[in-house]
């Protein structure tokens, strides 16, 4: 976390991009926005420029490139020329350069490739974004990955090291993905890790059945949802968290939650328990070697 306070980033994935939400965010001291070229049906950048051009300079803004409109709806590409044009287009549509440009879910274009081909493609895509930062099209660049297990199939050591690695975070993320994220960020040495989607996009009912408040140090008077949000900054440890809301009242609750302190020992105990459960279930299902022969034949070509 580099000693700095963790930051709340207002994510616009499911947002209606209403101006009043952006003014509410600024009033609450939330000064980071995260969007992506495909959000709002590929209109997010234009909508922000149309409705909030005067507000945008007050935010630090991250956006993502990698998805493109296609005849069938949306397609993913790591083609260097398309990525460069997408970064230039983002700056044009927004009416100014975004602070950060992230490669959007690169694992989508890597599936099925050989490790060498995947690594070469990812390396070229990273170089496009690093060059964009060098050319002043953004201040920093990074990689947003929804599935670090898939991305981790490519050896990233020696590829351009991103300023930001943005990954899924929170109590709804499985231990295998958390482990894959930790391996990836150690290998890639990103300057900062940002979390995203701490509620998995919604799933409010989960918190009726599960109370995450023991993860916070008392005293506090936060709700279960607030505790889930605050705890997400430690699963994995993240300097910033992109969370979505269209409700200024919910944003107030999220900002309040930032003041709480997470009980690191409780989080460590939780992770140990998850690892223990996984070990238990894998040894319970362990079969004789003869039954396992060929078990990896259907696995990814990165294995």
Ligand X SMILES: NC(=O)c1ccc[n+]([C@@H]2O[C@H](COP(=O)([O-])OP(=O)(O)OC[C@H]3O[C@@H](n4cnc5c(N)ncnc54)[C@H](OP(=O)(O)O)[C@@H]3O)[C@@H](O)[C@H]2O)c1
Bridge-based pairing of strands 67-70 and 73-76 is antiparallel
Rounded Cα distance, 132 and 163, in Å: 13
148 contacts ligand X (rule: CB under 6 A): no
Report, in this order, helix, strand and coil percent for the chain, each rounded to 5. 45, 15, 40
- The distance of closest approach from Cβ of residue 257 to ligand X in the complex, given in angstroms and rounded to an integer, is 8
- Please give the size of the binding site for ligand X, defined by CB under 6 A: 27
The Cα-based distances of 286 to 69, 179, 283, 296 in angstroms read 45, 21, 5, 14
x-or-dash string of contact with ligand X, 95-114, rule CB under 6 A:
---------xx---------
38 contacts ligand X (rule: CB under 6 A): no
200 contacts ligand X (rule: CB under 6 A): yes
14 contacts ligand X (rule: CB under 6 A): yes
What one-character DSSP code corresponds to residue 216?
B
- The distance of closest approach from Cβ of residue 126 to ligand X in the complex, given in angstroms and rounded to an integer, is 16
12 contacts ligand X (rule: CB under 6 A): yes
192 contacts ligand X (rule: CB under 6 A): no
List the one residue from 59, 67, 188, 199 that touches ligand X (CB under 6 A): 199
Q: Which stretch binds ligand X (CB under 6 A): 42-50, 132-140, 155-163, 240-248?
A: 240-248
197 contacts ligand X (rule: CB under 6 A): yes
- Cα distance from N-terminal residue to C-terminal residue, the chain: 32
- What are the residues whose beta carbons fall under 8 Å from the beta carbon of 130, sequence distance 6 or more? 141, 160
144 contacts ligand X (rule: CB under 6 A): yes
The Cα-based distances of 281 to 65, 136, 274, 275, 286 in angstroms read 39, 50, 11, 10, 9
Query: Toward ligand X, which CB reaches closer, 174 or 202?
Result: 202
Q: Which stretch binds ligand X (CB under 6 A): 124-132, 157-165, 243-251, 289-297?
A: 243-251
CA atoms within 13 A on the CB side of 71: 0
198 contacts ligand X (rule: CB under 6 A): yes
242 contacts ligand X (rule: CB under 6 A): yes
Q: Which stretch binds ligand X (CB under 6 A): 93-101, 149-157, 181-189, 190-198?
A: 190-198
List the one residue from 141, 159, 244, 270 that touches ligand X (CB under 6 A): 244
According to DSSP H, which parts of 152-204 are helical? 175-188
236 contacts ligand X (rule: CB under 6 A): no
210 phi/psi in degrees, rounded to 5: -130, 130
The burial of 41, by beta-carbon neighbours within 10 Å (0-12 exposed, 13-18 middle, 19 or more buried), is given as exposed
Query: Toward ligand X, which CB reaches closer, 156 or 228?
Result: 228
Query: Toward ligand X, which CB reaches closer, 133 or 164?
Result: 164
239 contacts ligand X (rule: CB under 6 A): no
Q: Is 263 left (phi over 0), alpha (psi -120 to 50) or beta?
A: beta
- The distance of closest approach from Cβ of residue 76 to ligand X in the complex, given in angstroms and rounded to an integer, is 11
70 phi/psi in degrees, rounded to 5: -140, 175
Give the pair of three-digit tokens for residue 104.
């959007």
Chain residues binding ligand X by CB under 6 A are 11-14, 34, 104-105, 144, 146, 196-202, 204, 225, 242-247, 250, 253-254
């Amino acid at each position: 976390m580099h000693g700095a306070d963790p930051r709340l980033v207002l994510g616009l994935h499911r947002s209606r991009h209403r101006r009043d939400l952006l003014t509410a965010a600024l009033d609450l001291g939330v000064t980071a926005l995260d969007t992506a070229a495909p959000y709002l049906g590929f209109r997010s950048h234009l909508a922000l420029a149309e409705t909030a051009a005067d507000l945008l300079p007050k935010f630090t803004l991250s956006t993502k490139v990698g998805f493109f409109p296609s005849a069938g709806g949306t397609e993913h590409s790591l083609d260097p020329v398309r990525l460069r044009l997408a970064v230039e287009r983002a700056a044009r549509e927004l009416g100014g350069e975004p602070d950060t440009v992230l490669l959007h879910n690169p694992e989508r274009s890597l599936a099925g490739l050989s490790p060498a081909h995947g690594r070469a493609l990812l390396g070229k895509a990273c170089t496009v974004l690093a060059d964009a930062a060098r050319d002043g099209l953004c201040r920093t660049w990074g990689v947003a990955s929804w599935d670090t297990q898939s991305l981790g199939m490519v050896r990233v050591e020696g590829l351009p090291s991103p300023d930001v690695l943005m990954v899924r975070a929170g109590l709804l993320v499985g231990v295998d993905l958390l482990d894959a994220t930790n391996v990836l960020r150690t290998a890639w040495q990103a300057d900062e890790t940002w979390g995203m989607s701490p509620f998995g996009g919604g799933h409010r009912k989960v918190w009726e059945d599960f109370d995450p408040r023991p993860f916070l140090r008392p005293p506090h008077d936060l709700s279960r949802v607030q505790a889930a949000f605050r705890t997400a900054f430690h699963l994995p440890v993240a300097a910033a968290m992109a969370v979505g809301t269209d409700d200024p009242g919910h944003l107030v609750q999220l900002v309040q939650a930032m003041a709480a302190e997470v009980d690191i020992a409780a989080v460590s105990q939780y992770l140990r328990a998850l690892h223990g459960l996984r070990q238990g279930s894998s040894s319970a299902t362990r079969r004789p070697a003869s039954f396992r022969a060929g078990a990896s034949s259907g696995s990814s070509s990165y294995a």
